[in-house]
């Protein structure tokens, strides 16, 4: 099937900025622990409407009915009526309308057999044209078009305070029909029918709308979302040719996206075997909830999965008072309240720090540190102690103390809530399947690390243009549901362990690593499953439990090195290198670390050289890692002690090509650094009477090269050429006849991206395109570039940043100076080794399109030095005939200037 292409952009300037990279091990599965909040545009609120109807559990279809037709999600043709405060335009001048909408609303579900499940609503005889009154407001429901028409209101007139001659306005329904159409509000002059494709404008979230997040550290990059002006500018483009006003209701973007994700995964037969009856039941419960309940659930699922006090759950745009919504979620079995808190540690962690201090004082504890973590530890230790009865062997004394502390702590805590783990895990699995391509782990390249899933999923999917391609799956990654659950469990351990290591919580990381080691032993005993994973294409094995466990072992190396257990780290690295099924692309990293441990920490120089010899004969050890190993061999063989046995071994390495890497020319410039206490150095640039504040050494270098006659310049690093690569090879990247590379319509790169399979499976097409670029005239190159730019502008794709060049003319000027021969050489290296060479390209590209001169510049501030990848790129560029150099910026303090 062809992936649908949205007709809108996400930025005011028409660009779509790619999501920024996060730590690799905390990729899509980071949702289990630290998810980021989306930012949405300021919306209108209406405090009058709070009551929501809920379809009772016993009204749901039986298990056999649900299993009969999973593709259509329990065979329910939902036409749910739910108007929340975000949906209703409100004006204080329109009291009559405000009063009419203050009553409780209702939910209607039409089953496939035209029977109904209703709650507090007027029964109907069929699934078409229903009229009923809700709190005095007359609504008309057209089930065939999935529309609700409010006969009493008109947005434009109401906004102006004019309540005369109000025309009907249309509300979009919150759940799609079986047709799979995206349902939106139509033009009031023409009601759209079910099945028509309408893209819904999604709102962003205002900072004050994200609830109380003082304990939820978010990794959200605000640049990912368009500003308010950007939303206003594109509003008119969002529903095709229909005339939309800014006041018409639209489902909040985060809920719209969440429902889209569920719909995309659950309607795909490929995933049916991965969910059982209980999973489907939980999904049906969520889909039957009122919109306000769904909105709050989605908000909560984005946050840390832990107990939250009520004052930390505040979303005024959902409802000024969330108590009824929270109660509904508890009744639905999706949310737990404080009565379910049985673990004292959970209660203490949920308590604010001041309350923990109060509790510690009531227990008369003497604690030197007043930090919350230390106080919690002290209280937990105290809870295990008994009184005098415990001294004489009395049973239950320690438990009595613990119960007493629990009672006091819960009194301080008050209302507290947490999402039910079992239900939450179902939706987490759905989102993992939706973004499966983002669970590959940390890549050893410029795209290293996978983006936080909620930055991708909870941003406005409707505002992103996805590439067009054909979804074609031949291999079944997960043999059965058990295999999928093992994969999920491994991802969770990987995420937890990566977070613990990042926070330097090595004690808990050690406990988790021991558990993971036991899990892997059990996994190795399941021979049938291992053989199944082994026959998968190499790049698909990254999405299996076995691959995740290999990544966990790699994290274990970091842990052992921190504990200075270098012998154990060496043994673990040997184990990782000894297997050749999963993540062979990491072998260079493992060999590099192995050589360092043997050489530097264990002083076993001969063994280090043995491992380096093996590494240099391994075809999966490439580029930067290979040069690093060569340099270590050079260092060992030419040590100051000059052991003859080591020096004689140099002959094994001196013929290696990495011994002939050219050194790039150096340029030295000075930058005036401000003597201030801010993080990172600040520089100033002075041209005549104009003084400019610069924040990076790259900016200082750009100013310098501008004075040298290079009129154009960008600080793009690798993104400059990955962008050009995508433009030149777009049709090849997303070509249709490569099976098992596109598993859902919302990918921005094929699953084999960065693997050897990417080039090998497209070799003929890539080589032909490279030859065309090499032989192309300047005019033809510019025409090729402009054509691809215009066809794909603002489409989301890996390696693409539409802001890297000011416009297509600037890009054409750059390519004009570069030339076809040099451009094809750079693109050829990227095409064949993207994972290994995507990083390390020079920081700056400076050129003059009139003089046709160009220079690639790597900028280094005080104390910086070149990485092995950067050394190799500079050497490669010079081989292509491109002018390249290293620019060292020497900082001069303003104090020195004034002296």
**pLDDT per residue as tens digits for the range 787-821:** 999 999 999 999 999 999 999 999 999 999 999 99
Q: Is the pTM of this model over 0.75?
A: no
User: Which residue did the predictor score with more confidence, 166 or 655?
Assistant: 655
Under the banding of pLDDT at 50, 70 and 90, the label for residue 373 is confident
Does residue 224 register a pLDDT over 70?
no
Count of helices and strands (H, E) across the chain: 33, 17
Task: Point out which residues pair with 148 in neighbouring strands.
Answer: 141, 171
What tokens appear for 60 in the block?
Answer: 């749901």
81-86: average pLDDT: 34
Cα–Cα dist 550/529, whole Å? 16
Under the banding of pLDDT at 50, 70 and 90, the label for residue 672 is confident
Q: Give the three-state DSSP class for 745.
A: coil
Phi-psi bin for 517: left (phi > 0), alpha (psi -120 to 50), beta? alpha
Tell me what pLDDT residue 800 has. 94
Tell me what pLDDT residue 647 has. 79
Angle at 853 between CA 850 and CA 858, to 5 degrees: 135
867 close to 717: Cβ distance less than 8 angstroms: no
Tell me what pLDDT residue 696 has. 82
Cα–Cα dist 201/858, whole Å? 42
Tell me what pLDDT residue 460 has. 55
466-480: average pLDDT: 92
Please report how the helices 506-525 and 545-562 are oriented relative to each other, as an axis angle in degrees rounded to 10.
140
Does residue 239 register a pLDDT over 80?
no
C-alpha 484: how far from chain center: 20
Cα–Cα dist 369/297, whole Å? 37
**373 membership: H or E segment, kind and range:** helix 372-383
398-424: average pLDDT: 88
Tens digit of each residue's pLDDT (9 = 90 or more) over 5-46:
443 333 333 333 333 333 333 333 333 333 333 333 333 333
Q: Which of 178-192, 379-393, 468-482, 761-775 is predicted most confidently? A: 761-775
183-201: average pLDDT: 31
For the residues of 811-854, what is the DSSP string, one character each?
HHHHHHHH-HHHHHHHHHHHHHHHHHHSS---SEEEEETTTTEE
Which residues neighbour 447 within 8 Å (Cβ) at sequence distance 6 or greater?
A: 21, 754, 798, 799, 838
Cα–Cα dist 324/292, whole Å? 10
34 close to 26: Cβ distance less than 8 angstroms: yes
The total of other beta-carbon atoms located within 10 Å of residue 648's CB is: 10
For the chain, the distance separating the N- and C-terminal CA atoms, rounded to the nearest angstrom, is: 71
Does residue 485 register a pLDDT over 60?
yes
238 close to 244: Cβ distance less than 8 angstroms: yes
Sheet holding 853-860, edge to edge: 690-694, 683-687, 666-673, 884-893, 853-860, 844-848, 712-715
Task: Point out which residues pair with 150 in neighbouring strands.
Answer: 139, 169
126: burial class by Cβ within 10 Å (0-12, 13-18, 19+)?
Answer: exposed
586-605: average pLDDT: 96
Cα–Cα dist 336/297, whole Å? 12
User: Which residue did the predictor score with more confidence, 251 or 346?
Assistant: 346
Tens digit of each residue's pLDDT (9 = 90 or more) over 108-140:
333 344 343 433 333 333 333 333 333 333 333
Does residue 179 register a pLDDT over 90?
no
Tell me what pLDDT residue 890 has. 86
Cα–Cα dist 510/856, whole Å? 45
599 close to 612: Cβ distance less than 8 angstroms: no
430-455: average pLDDT: 61
Which residues neighbour 154 within 8 Å (Cβ) at sequence distance 6 or greater?
A: 166, 167, 168, 169, 188
Tell me what pLDDT residue 491 has. 93
**694 membership: H or E segment, kind and range:** strand 690-694
Does residue 589 register a pLDDT over 50?
yes
876-893: average pLDDT: 92
What tokens appear for 639 in the block?
Answer: 């040590």
Does residue 1 register a pLDDT over 70?
no
Nearest in space to 90 (alpha carbons), one of 81, 80, 82, 100:
100
Residue with tokens 């899933």: 453
C-alpha 765: how far from chain center: 31
* Share of the chain residues as helix, strand and coil, in percent rounded to the nearest 5: 45, 10, 40
311 close to 350: Cβ distance less than 8 angstroms: no
Tens digit of each residue's pLDDT (9 = 90 or more) over 132-173:
333 333 333 333 333 333 333 333 333 344 433 433 333 333
Tell me what pLDDT residue 208 has. 36
Residue with tokens 């036991």: 518
Does residue 849 register a pLDDT over 70?
yes
What percentage of the chain exceeds 70 in pLDDT?
A: 65
Under the banding of pLDDT at 50, 70 and 90, the label for residue 896 is low
Tell me what pLDDT residue 442 has. 52
263-270: average pLDDT: 92
The total of other beta-carbon atoms located within 10 Å of residue 391's CB is: 9
DSSP state, 630? Answer: H
655-672: average pLDDT: 87
Scored b (16 or more CB within 10 A) or e, 294-333 reads: bbbbbbbbbbbbebbbbebbebbbbbeebebbbebbbebe
Cα–Cα dist 99/85, whole Å? 13
Cα–Cα dist 108/130, whole Å? 10
Q: Which of 54-63, 440-449, 666-675 is predicted most confidently? A: 666-675
Tell me what pLDDT residue 599 has. 95
399-422: average pLDDT: 88
Cα–Cα dist 431/425, whole Å? 10
C-alpha 646: how far from chain center: 48
C-alpha 48: how far from chain center: 36
548-575: average pLDDT: 97
What tokens appear for 580 in the block?
Answer: 């050749």
Residue with tokens 């973007």: 253
Cα–Cα dist 28/492, whole Å? 10
What tokens appear for 738 in the block?
Answer: 């490569």
What tokens appear for 122 in the block?
Answer: 């007027």
The total of other beta-carbon atoms located within 10 Å of residue 269's CB is: 8
Using CA atoms, how far residue 772 sits from 70, 781, 875, in Å, is 49, 9, 25
User: Which residue did the predictor score with more confidence, 685 or 337?
Assistant: 337
Under the banding of pLDDT at 50, 70 and 90, the label for residue 273 is very high
Average model confidence (pLDDT) across the chain:
73
Tell me what pLDDT residue 315 has. 95
Does residue 579 register a pLDDT over 90?
yes
Does residue 683 register a pLDDT over 80?
no
Tens digit of each residue's pLDDT (9 = 90 or more) over 699-722:
889 999 999 999 999 999 999 999
Find the length of the chain.
899
Does residue 102 register a pLDDT over 60?
no
Under the banding of pLDDT at 50, 70 and 90, the label for residue 210 is very low
Tens digit of each residue's pLDDT (9 = 90 or more) over 58-80:
333 333 333 333 333 333 333 33
Tell me what pLDDT residue 103 has. 34
Task: Point out which residues pair with 792 in neighbouring strands.
Answer: none
Tell me what pLDDT residue 681 has. 66
Q: How many CA atoms lie within 13 A of 847 on its CB side?
A: 22
Tell me what pLDDT residue 62 has. 35
Tell me what pLDDT residue 186 has. 33
What tokens appear for 841 in the block?
Answer: 């390209």
Cα–Cα dist 629/622, whole Å? 10
């Amino acid at each position: 099937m062809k992936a649908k292409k949205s007709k809108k952009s996400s930025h005011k300037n028409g660009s779509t900025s790619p999501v920024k990279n996060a730590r690799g091990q905390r990729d899509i599965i980071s949702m289990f622990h630290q998810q980021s909040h989306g930012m949405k545009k300021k919306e209108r609120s209406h405090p009058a409407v709070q009551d929501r109807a809920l379809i009772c559990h016993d009204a749901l279809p039986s298990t056999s009915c649900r299993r009969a037709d999973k593709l259509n999600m329990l065979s329910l043709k939902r036409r749910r009526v739910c108007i929340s405060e975000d949906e209703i335009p409100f004006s204080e001048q329109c009291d009559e309308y405000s009063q009419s909408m203050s009553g409780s609303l209702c939910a209607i579900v039409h089953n496939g057999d035209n029977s109904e499940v209703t709650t507090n609503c007027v029964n109907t005889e069929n699934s078409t044209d229903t009229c009923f009154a809700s709190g005095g407001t007359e609504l008309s429901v057209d089930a065939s078009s999935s529309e609700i028409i409010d006969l009493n209101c008109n947005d434009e007139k109401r906004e102006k305070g004019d309540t005369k001659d109000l025309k009907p306005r249309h509300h979009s329904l919150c759940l799609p029909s079986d047709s799979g159409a995206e349902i939106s509000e139509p033009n009031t002059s023409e009601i759209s029918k079910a099945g028509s494709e309408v893209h819904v404008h999604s709102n962003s979230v205002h900072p004050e709308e994200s609830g109380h997040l003082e304990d939820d550290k978010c990794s959200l990059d605000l640049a990912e979302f368009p500003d308010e002006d950007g939303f206003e500018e594109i509003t008119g483009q969002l529903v095709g040719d229909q005339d939309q006003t800014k006041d018409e209701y639209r489902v909040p973007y985060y809920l719209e996206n969440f429902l889209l994700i569920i719909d995309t995964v659950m309607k795909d037969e490929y995933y049916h075997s991965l969910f059982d009856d209980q999973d489907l039941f939980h999904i049906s419960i969520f889909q039957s909830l009122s919109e306000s309940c769904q909105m709050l659930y989605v908000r909560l699922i984005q946050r840390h999965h832990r107990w939250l006090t009520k004052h930390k759950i505040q979303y005024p745009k959902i409802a000024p008072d969330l108590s009824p919504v929270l109660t509904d979620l508890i009744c639905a079995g999706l949310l737990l309240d404080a009565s379910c808190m049985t673990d004292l540690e959970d209660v203490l962690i949920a308590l604010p720090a001041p309350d923990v201090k109060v509790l510690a004082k009531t227990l008369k504890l003497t604690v030197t540190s007043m930090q919350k973590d230390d106080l919690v530890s002290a209280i937990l230790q105290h809870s295990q102690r008994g009184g005098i009865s415990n001294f004489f062997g009395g049973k239950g004394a320690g438990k009595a103390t613990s119960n007493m502390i629990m009672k006091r702590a819960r009194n301080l805590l008050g209302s507290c809530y947490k999402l039910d783990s079992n239900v939450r895990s179902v939706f987490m699995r759905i989102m993992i399947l939706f973004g499966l391509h983002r669970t590959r782990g940390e890549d050893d390249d410029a795209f290293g690390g996978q983006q936080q899933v909620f930055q991708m999923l909870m941003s406005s999917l409707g505002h992103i243009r996805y590439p067009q391609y054909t979804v074609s799956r031949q291999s079944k990654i997960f043999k059965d549901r058990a295999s999928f659950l093992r994969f999920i469990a491994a991802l969770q351990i990987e995420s937890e362990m990566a977070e613990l290591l990042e926070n330097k919580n090595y004690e808990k990381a050690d406990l988790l690593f021991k558990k993971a080691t036991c899990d892997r032993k059990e996994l190795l005993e399941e021979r049938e499953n291992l053989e199944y994973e082994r026959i998968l294409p190499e790049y698909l094995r990254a999405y299996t439990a076995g691959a995740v466990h290999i990544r966990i072992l790699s994290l274990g190396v970091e842990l052992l090195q921190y504990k200075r257990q270098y012998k154990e780290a060496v043994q673990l690295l040997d184990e990782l290198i000894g297997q050749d099924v999963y993540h062979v692309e990491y072998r260079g990293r493992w060999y590099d670390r192995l050589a360092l441990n043997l050489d530097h920490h264990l002083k076993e120089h001969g063994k280090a050289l043995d491992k380096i010899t093996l590494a240099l004969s391994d075809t999966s050890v490439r580029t930067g890692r290979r040069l690093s190993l060569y340099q270590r061999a050079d260092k060992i063989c030419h040590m100051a002690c000059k052991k003859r046995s080591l020096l004689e071994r140099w002959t094994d390495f001196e013929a290696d090509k990495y011994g002939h890497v050219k050194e790039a020319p150096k340029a030295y410039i000075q930058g005036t650094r401000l003597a201030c206490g801010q993080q990172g150095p600040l520089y100033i640039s002075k041209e005549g009477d104009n003084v400019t504040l610069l924040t990076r050494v790259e900016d200082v270098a750009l100013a310098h090269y501008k004075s040298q006659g290079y009129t154009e310049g960008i600080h793009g690093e690798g993104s400059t050429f990955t962008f050009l690569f995508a433009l030149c090879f777009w049709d090849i990247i997303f070509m249709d006849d490569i099976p098992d590379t596109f598993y859902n319509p919302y990918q921005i790169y094929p699953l084999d991206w960065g693997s050897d399979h990417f080039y090998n499976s497209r070799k003929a097409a890539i080589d032909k395109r490279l030859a065309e670029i090499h032989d192309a005239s300047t005019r033809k190159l510019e025409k090729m570039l402009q054509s691809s730019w215009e066809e794909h502008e603002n489409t989301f794709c890996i390696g693409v940043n539409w802001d890297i060049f000011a416009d297509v003319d600037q890009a054409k000027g750059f390519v004009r100076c570069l030339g076809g021969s040099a451009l094809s050489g750079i693109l050829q290296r990227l095409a064949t080794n993207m994972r290994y060479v995507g990083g390390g390209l020079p920081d700056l590209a400076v050129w003059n399109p009139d003089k046709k001169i160009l220079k690639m510049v790597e900028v280094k501030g005080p104390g910086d030095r070149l990485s092995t990848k950067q050394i190799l790129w500079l050497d490669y560029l010079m081989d292509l005939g491109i002018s390249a150099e290293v620019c060292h910026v020497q900082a001069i303090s303003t104090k020195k200037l004034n002296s």
